[in-house]
Structure 1
Amino acid sequence: MATRGFVRTQVSGRVHRFVWLGLGNGDDGEPISIPGAADMTFQAFGTFGAAGEIRMEGTCRETAATFFQMRDGGDNVISFDSADGEMLAQMVAFIRPRVTAGDVTTDLTAILLARSTMK
């Protein structure tokens, strides 16, 4: 169980990509703060292992302390047990991926693509 850092790249203008590599069973991603992001899409892929699952979590608190499971535009919890992607509907102060299940072979990549409305 480790917290994995992210790599941030600017795609274009106000669009940024955040990538967390090597997420294993019980790992989470270093939280990022992008409250000005109006549009966000989360994608996960890699080796899920036995019963592997990854979630996107957020918090509205001033510090990255207590997280809740995020939802899409249809109010469905965002949780993948195979490679997939989904739009995030909620605005939060901090956001992170978290692997909630898997085995020793679990090795996932999580990507967040975010467009900011802030200048």
Structure 2
Amino acid sequence: MGLSKTERRERIRKRIRKISFGTSERPRLSVYRSNSEIYAQVIDDNEGKTLVAASSRDKELSKSKGTKMEIAALVGKALAEKAKKAGIETVAFDRGGNLYHGRVKSLAEGAREGGLKF
């Protein structure tokens, strides 16, 4: 019998985290996707600190209407703006075991449109 969906996702997440490490020069952009919301944060793993974060629950984004894909793109753009203000231009993308498809892809493209490079 094969792996369950959560076991497969956890295996992928661990494989990604082995090679993806955020430094102060190139922090890690971590994405967490729940059934209804999406969260993203830029993390410096050397210091163990979150540098910037954005989510679909933020006050300015929670008022926006649209599909989950459109809201994920807005979260990506908001995160990119906050990162630019903090002086961050390049990041290592960590999709958190999720497939690069749908809302995760939409958030990544929104962050790229906002000016982040990864």
Q: TM-score, normalised by structure 1?
A: 0.33
Higher strand share: 1
Q: TM-score, normalised by structure 2?
A: 0.33
Higher helix share: 2
Q: Is the radius of gyration larger for structure 1 or structure 2?
A: 2
**Higher RCO, Cα 8 Å, sep 6+:** 1
